[in-house]
Amino acid sequence: RKEVEQDPGPFNVPEGATVAFNCTYSNSASQSFFWYRQDCRKEPKLLMSVYSSGNEDGRFTAQLNRASQYISLLIRDSKLSDSATYLCVVKRNTNAGKSTFGDGTTLTVKP
């Protein structure tokens, strides 16, 4: 079983839709969680960190459920520019510098 698992999609949604991605992790010692965005053939860039209490940044909301070991990303009012691959990243603070990436979920927003 992979340490970090994501639904690969693709998710095809119309502009203005709300879409949610889930990510599960297997190691209960995981401490830090992130969502990165990767555009086609480009480098990943941090979208947002995920905090225990949940956090929101504009149209994006991230949540963490430690008991069930999953994190989620909700995108409201989807824009064409949201089309990308979204990577879930998990880090164990006992191993500084070492992150584990999920395989990513691909989102295509259509007019």
Distance CA 34, CA 65 (A): 13
Tokens of 85: 């691959």
**Amino acid letter, 7:** D
Distance CA 93, CA 105 (A): 25
CB of 111 to another protein, least distance (A): 26
Q: Which is nearer to another protein, 2 or 110 (CB)?
A: 2
Q: What's CA 53's distance to the chain center, in Å?
A: 16
Q: Is 42 a residue that touches another protein (CB under 8 A)?
A: yes
Site for another protein in 90-109 (CB under 8 A): 91, 93, 96-104
- Residue 25 per-residue DSSP state: E
**Amino acid letter, 33:** F
Q: Which is nearer to another protein, 78 or 85 (CB)?
A: 85
Looking at 3-11, 13-21, 64-72, 76-84, which segment touches another protein (CB under 8 A)?
Answer: 3-11
Q: Is 46 a residue that touches another protein (CB under 8 A)?
A: yes
Is-contact 37 84, C-beta < 8 A? Answer: yes
Residues that bind another protein (CB under 8 A): 4, 6, 8, 32, 34, 36, 41-46, 49, 87, 91, 93, 96-104
